[in-house]
């Protein structure tokens, strides 16, 4: 019976480690949000790309730094986990194999051991805390946002049950906190230029939501009453997921939108078309034709 429990408690951690290894493999791909390069994840008849096409690197430079941190912590934690479980296994089996006769060893404990296994983990955690500080600062401290992103926010994103309302500044103007007469409005589609850091103002119209760009590793809660600046940079052009990550009601699961990262000229073209559509008075030529003629 004792041996059964020894194997029982050694079996599960081993199984966990094995499952983790398998799930990352190309057959299961249970890892970071992947960017199927070039294909549109929302198209109805999308063909799932072959394993080699999946790109797990974050689609933003800051995202890559966040991934590096993740790997570091994963490495530390895995080593500790395996070490601890080996120790546990050893202790279990040793205890199980000892005979039941005779008195057990009674000890008052070891002061040195206690100190060691307090200081070492504390040191590791302190190391992690200090190591990640600059990534945190880059991401969350407004003064550290890249200047070009701070100066020219690209849009105001307002979360609402259950959609994302986007307000762009009129072409050629800077986005103001208050809506301006020429502002362009759309819903569920955010266009940003690639290759440079951009900033959005995040608001919420009703309850808490969260601005979540999985492939870019961006997540920020939208709190009603606050205007929160969020910056990110999309390295590659493409269509990315834009989800809500804070339970906000019955429609939270489908509060999806599109983040379309494209070259700046294309973003400008999109905004021009949006302006034509928004100014459409029923008489002038349809926006699409006019845009082409420009």
Q: Does 147 bind another protein (CB under 8 A)?
A: no
Interacting residue with another protein among 9, 12, 31, 42 (CB under 8 A): 42
**Structure-derived torsion over alpha carbons of residues 225, 154, 61, 140, reported in degrees to the nearest 10:** -30
Q: How many residues does the chain have?
A: 294
Interacting residue with another protein among 100, 112, 282, 293 (CB under 8 A): 282
CB of 164 to another protein, least distance (A): 8
Q: Does 256 bind another protein (CB under 8 A)?
A: yes
Q: Does 201 bind another protein (CB under 8 A)?
A: no
Interacting residue with another protein among 21, 44, 47, 292 (CB under 8 A): 44
Q: Count CB neighbours of 115 within 10 A.
A: 10
CB nearer to another protein: give 70 or 185: 185
Interacting residue with another protein among 28, 185, 226, 288 (CB under 8 A): 185
Interacting residue with another protein among 258, 268, 272, 273 (CB under 8 A): 258
By CB under 8 A, name the binding residues for another protein: 42-44, 160-163, 165, 178-181, 185, 187-189, 250-251, 256-258, 277-284
């Amino acid at each position: 019976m004792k041996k059964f429990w020894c194997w029982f408690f050694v079996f599960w951690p081993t199984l966990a480690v094995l499952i983790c290894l398998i799930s990352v493999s190309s057959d299961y791909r249970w890892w970071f949000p992947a960017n199927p390069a070039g294909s549109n994840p929302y198209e109805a008849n999308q063909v799932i790309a072959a394993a080699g096409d999946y790109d797990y690197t974050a689609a933003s430079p800051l995202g890559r730094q966040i991934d590096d941190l993740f790997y570091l912590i994963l490495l530390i934690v895995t080593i500790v986990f395996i070490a601890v479980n080996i120790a546990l296994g050893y202790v279990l089996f040793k205890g199980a194999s000892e005979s039941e006769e005779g008195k057990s060893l009674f000890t008052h404990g070891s002061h040195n051991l206690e100190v060691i296994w307090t200081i070492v983990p504390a040191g590791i955690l302190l190391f992690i805390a200090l190591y990640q500080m600059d990534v945190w600062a880059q991401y969350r401290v407004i003064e550290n946002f890249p200047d070009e992103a701070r100066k020219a926010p690209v849009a105001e994103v307002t979360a609402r049950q259950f959609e994302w309302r986007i307000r762009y500044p009129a072409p050629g103007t800077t986005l103001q906190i208050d809506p301006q007469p020429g502002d362009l409005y759309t819903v569920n589609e955010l266009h940003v230029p690639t290759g440079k850091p951009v900033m959005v103002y995040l608001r919420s119209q009703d309850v808490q939501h969260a601005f979540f760009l999985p492939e870019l590793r961006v997540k920020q809660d939208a709190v009603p009453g606050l205007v929160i600046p969020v910056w990110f940079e999309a390295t590659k052009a493409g269509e990315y997921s834009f989800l809500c990550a804070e339970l906000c009601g019955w429609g939270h699961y489908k509060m999806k939108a599109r983040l379309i990262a494209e070259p700046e000229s294309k973003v400008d073209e999109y905004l021009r078309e949006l302006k034509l559509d928004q100014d459409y008075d029923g008489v002038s030529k349809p926006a699409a034709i006019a845009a082409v003629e420009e």
